[in-house]
Amino acid sequence: MADCIFCKIANKEIPSAAVYEDDMVLAFKDLEPQAPVHVLVIPKKHVESIKELDDSHKDVMGHIFCKVLPRVAKEQGIDEKGFRVVANTGDEGGQTVKHLHIHLLGGRSMQWPPG
């Protein structure tokens, strides 16, 4: 999608520090990390948020949760102690980039409730 920064990252028009990639998904380091490990996992095909998901997204979202997140967590060394997975959705959810992304955060103790 034109003017979407994460589409541009997925298309390599903007560089990123990728930690995992396949035909459906890219995972890359967040530019402003909020924890020692802070990775964003995106479907390469544009979808704005969880609100827009439908049956056509089952494969990619299942892939993200069943394969990519556990794999990246393990590779980043945060799987044993634990980690947090967040999908900010919409304005009150704190979503600033309107291309669905899953935050993977770890390497420190997390607080609850989040701000």
Catalytic (active-site) positions: 101
Total residues contacting ligand AMP (rule CB under 6 A)? 12
CB of 42 to ligand AMP, least distance (A): 10
Please tell me whether residue 46 binds Zn ion under the rule CB under 5 A: yes
Other CB atoms within a 10 A radius of the CB of residue 98 amount to: 17
Q: If contact means CB under 5 to 8 A according to the sort of partner, which of Zn ion, ligand AMP, none does residue 46 touch?
A: Zn ion
Please tell me whether residue 4 binds ligand AMP under the rule CB under 6 A: no
Measured distance CA(74)–CA(14) in Å, rounded:
27
Q: C-alpha distances in angstroms, 105 versus 66, 72, 91? A: 17, 11, 21
Please enumerate in sequence order all residues whose Cβ is within 8 A of that of 112, keeping only pairs 6 or more positions apart, or say none.
none
CB of 98 to Zn ion, least distance (A): 7
User: Which residue stretch of 56-64, 67-75, 88-96, 107-115 sits at the interface with ligand AMP (rule: CB under 6 A)?
Assistant: 88-96
Residues 24-63 touching ligand AMP, rule: CB under 6 A, are 30-32, 40
Q: If contact means CB under 5 to 8 A according to the sort of partner, which of Zn ion, ligand AMP, none does residue 4 touch?
A: Zn ion
H helix or E strand, kind and range, residue 74: helix 69-75
Q: Which residue is it, tokens 């396949």?
A: 22
Phi, psi for residue 41 in degrees, rounded to 5: -115, 125
* Site for ligand AMP, rule CB under 6 A: 5, 14, 16, 30-32, 40, 88, 94-97
